[in-house]
């Protein structure tokens, strides 16, 4: 969804054509938005963050089922000053504010490692379905911003998206257990759409993979049906996700009497919108 607001003329705002494409498809990829030296810095920071989080067995570090490989590290924007600066960078923030039509804050950030040979799949899902039910996010007024730290190609399990799927809310079958995140972040079993609903969406919109060079940035609607395969290639596929939520869409109580999820997965304390920083000169 695209919302009207005071940020339509931001320095890095999308053009009318780009915004129309985002509104219809539910996503847009900007190739080469970040330059090589920035990406190299981000990869170095990512490796340091993973090593430290794994060594200290921080709750923000989610391991693959083998208990060895790190699958994701959450809350990097608060654990690392380079990531903090990046999510305030006008090249990302101007687009998020334009799409959401308001000031924004970070609902969640995560570094998905997808290491070569060992990165396991993320089955099809809508993030909003989880954030609405388990975090109490009221409306579809959030956007995920994905910074490709590695090249995403046909071999290393790029993100797959279903164009137009953001326009349909798929109710999922089953009762979400308390503390579901302890399993779902590794292998999601609840909040998973049924094959008939997936077929309905894919017949209409097909499937598109977000392949692109490192330094590309993908924006996708919070209700976009997406997933990714296991990575059996030798090439890692590290992607850095920032979820911008509108300050007008802050979390309420989770559905069905569920307890709120931990702050590192779903920020509730944000009472200030993000302060923008200018991009680092090339």
Torsion 242-62-114-164 (CA) sign: negative
Q: Is 127 in the site for Fe ion (CB under 5 A)?
A: yes
Minimum separation from the CB atom of position 241 to ligand 6CS (A): 7
Q: Which does 237 bind (CB under 5 to 8 A by kind): Fe ion, ligand 6CS, none?
A: none
CA torsion sign, 188 to 191 to 197 to 201? negative
150 makes contact, choosing from Fe ion, ligand 6CS, none, with CB < 5 to 8 Å by partner type, with none
Place of tokens 């976009």: 224
Assess 129 for contact with Fe ion (CB under 5 A).
Answer: no
- Where does this chain touch Fe ion (CB under 5 A) — which range of 123-131, 161-169, 171-179, 243-251? 123-131
184 binds, among ligand 6CS, Fe ion, none (CB under 5 to 8 A by kind): ligand 6CS
Report in angstroms how near the CB of residue 197 gets to ligand 6CS at its nearest.
Answer: 17
Say which entry of ligand 6CS, Fe ion, none residue 245 contacts (CB below 5 to 8 A, set by partner kind).
Answer: none
Q: Which residues bind ligand 6CS (CB under 6 A)?
A: 108, 110, 122, 125, 127, 130, 181, 184-185, 188, 265
Residue 202's binding partner, choosing from Fe ion, ligand 6CS, none, with beta-carbon cut-off 5 to 8 A by kind? none
Q: How far is CA 172 from CA 105, 151, 186, in A?
A: 27, 33, 18
| 1-to-55, 139, 155 alpha-carbon distances in Å | 40, 10, 31
DSSP state of 154: S
Choose among 40, 142, 145, 42: nearest CA to 85. Answer: 42
135 touches Fe ion by CB under 5 A: no
DSSP classification of residue 11:
T
Q: Find the largest Cα–Cα distance for the chain.
A: 50
Provide the minimum distance between the beta carbon of 125 and Fe ion in the complex, in angstroms, as a whole number.
6
């Amino acid at each position: 969804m695209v919302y009207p607001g005071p940020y339509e003329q931001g320095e890095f705002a999308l053009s009318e054509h780009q915004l129309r494409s985002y509104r219809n498809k539910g996503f847009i990829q900007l190739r080469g938005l970040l330059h090589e030296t920035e990406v190299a810095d981000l990869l170095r920071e990512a490796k340091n963050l993973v090593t430290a989080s794994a060594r200290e067995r921080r709750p923000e570090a989610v391991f693959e089922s083998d208990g060895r490989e790190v699958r994701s590290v959450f809350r990097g924007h608060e654990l690392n000053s380079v990531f903090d600066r990046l999510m305030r960078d006008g090249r990302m923030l101007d687009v998020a504010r334009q799409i959401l039509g308001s000031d924004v804050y970070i609902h969640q950030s995560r570094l998905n490692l997808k290491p070569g040979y060992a990165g396991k799949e993320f089955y099809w899902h809508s993030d909003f379905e989880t954030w609405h039910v388990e975090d109490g996010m009221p409306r579809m007024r959030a956007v995920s911003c994905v910074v490709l730290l590695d090249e995403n190609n046909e071999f290393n399990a790029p993100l797959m998206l279903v164009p137009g799927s953001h326009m349909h809310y798929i109710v999922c079958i089953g009762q979400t257990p308390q503390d579901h995140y302890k399993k779902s972040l590794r292998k999601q079993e609840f909040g998973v759409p049924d094959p008939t609903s997936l077929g309905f969406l894919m017949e209409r919109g097909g499937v598109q993979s977000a392949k692109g060079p490192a330094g590309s940035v993908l924006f996708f609607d919070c209700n976009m049906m997406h997933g990714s395969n296991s990575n059996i290639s030798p090439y890692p596929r590290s992607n850095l996700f920032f979820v911008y939520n509108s300050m007008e869409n802050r979390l309420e109580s989770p559905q069905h009497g569920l307890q709120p999820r931990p702050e590192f997965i779903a920020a509730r304390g944000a009472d200030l919108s993000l302060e923008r920083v200018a991009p680092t000169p090339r």
